[in-house]
Chains A and B, each alone.
Chain A
Amino acid sequence: MSELLRSELLGSDLSHARTLALAGRHGGLGAAALTPAAPATRLSLRAKPDAVETLSAALGISLPTRPKTSASSNGRHALWLGPDEWLVIDETEADLMAAAASSNVLHSATDVSHRNTAILVKGFGAEVAVNGGCPQDLTLAAFPINACSRTIFGKAEIVLLRTADDAFRIECWRSFSPYVFGLLSEAAEDAGN
């Protein structure tokens, strides 16, 4: 299909044609406010230990090797999910696939930008709201700022990242997001009481 025809059929700017999973939703109260996060590019990255250093250089972020830790710089986050597995998120929607490919070391990278969506939870009751469906100990001592973990929220799998004392980013699969947002809204409304 020619580029001209494609743009006539789909509209010249595809970014405006995209439907976001949680568009227009809002939830929670003062204790814990819920906001759907802006679109981001995401990478499901797997690699053996000997490739970590080269991949880190290619991605411009040092991939963490300790459990439950993450690294962040300039809107790009690398989250430890398993001993050889990371979730890389870029909030500026930079091309992570190209960055990973430029490393020229053996790795597996899958673009999951549109598979996941994220919910931001903020407020003094954020911990309580997330604990409404997540069994992990989220006190600051056990789950400090920049700690991250793949875990469970009710019946859905999530990736939890603590961005501040009172703020979390919850990554979940797009198709689970109405469920996660709904359950989280209920928990967030109770969090202030």
Chain B
Amino acid sequence: MLLIYCPYCEEERSELEFRQAGDAHIARPRNMTEMSDADFEAFFFLRDNVKGLTFERWRHLNGCGRFFNAARDTVSDKFLTTYKAGLPRPDISALRPAASSPVGTAPVETYEATEADAK
């Protein structure tokens, strides 16, 4: 079972108590009524869906109920860090075990690696 550190409860809790809540650090535009449709679409719908390091909002739904932010690797599912809502992005290079190499230097089994060329 995946354990997630809640910065408000100050301890690790089971993933069962949490819900993912989309990307973090998306600034809400102040001039929404004047925006073009394309700009609004970009703000409202378009997400990067990155492979690797991503910043997400999470909610400790069945716990303290608070939203917080997390830096997570989408390939290894590893949480690099979690931090309170409203704080800026943390310095990720300092958190990684080997700052120069990307997370998951050990081979990670992905669909592409194992199945993509299977005939």
Contacts of A85 in B (CB 8 A): 64-65
Question: Does B34 interact with chain A (Cβ within 8 Å)?
Answer: no
**A67-B62 CB under 8 A given contacts A135-B17, A152-B16:** no
Task: Give the total of B residues in contact with A, Cβ under 8 Å.
Answer: 14
**Partner among A81, A83, A135, A152 whose Cβ is within 8 Å of the Cβ of B1:** A135
Closest-by-CB residue of B relative to A142 is: B11
Q: Whole-angstrom distance from the CB of B13 to the nearest CB of chain A? A: 7
Q: Establish whether residues B65 and A152, one from each chain, have CB atoms under 8 Å apart when the complex forms.
A: no
- Given contacts A67-B10, A82-B8, A135-B1, are A151 and B66 in contact (CB under 8 A)? no
Determine if B74 is an interface residue (Cβ-Cβ < 8 Å): no
Counting CB contacts under 8 A, is A110 at the interface?
Answer: no
Please report the number of residue pairs spanning A and B whose Cβ atoms sit closer than 8 angstroms: 40
**Bound CA span A157–B60, Å:** 12
Chain B residues at the A interface, C-beta cutoff of 8 Å: 1, 8-11, 13-14, 16-17, 62-66
Show 9 residue pairs from A and B whose CB-CB distance is below 8 angstroms, ordered by the A residue: A68-B9, A81-B65, A82-B65, A82-B66, A135-B14, A136-B14, A150-B64, A151-B63, A152-B16
- Given A82-B66, A83-B66, A150-B64, 20 more A-B residue pairs with CB atoms under 8 Å apart are A67-B8, A67-B9, A67-B10, A68-B11, A81-B64, A81-B65, A82-B8, A83-B64, A85-B65, A135-B1, A135-B13, A135-B17, A136-B13, A150-B65, A151-B13, A151-B17, A151-B62, A152-B16, A152-B62, A157-B62
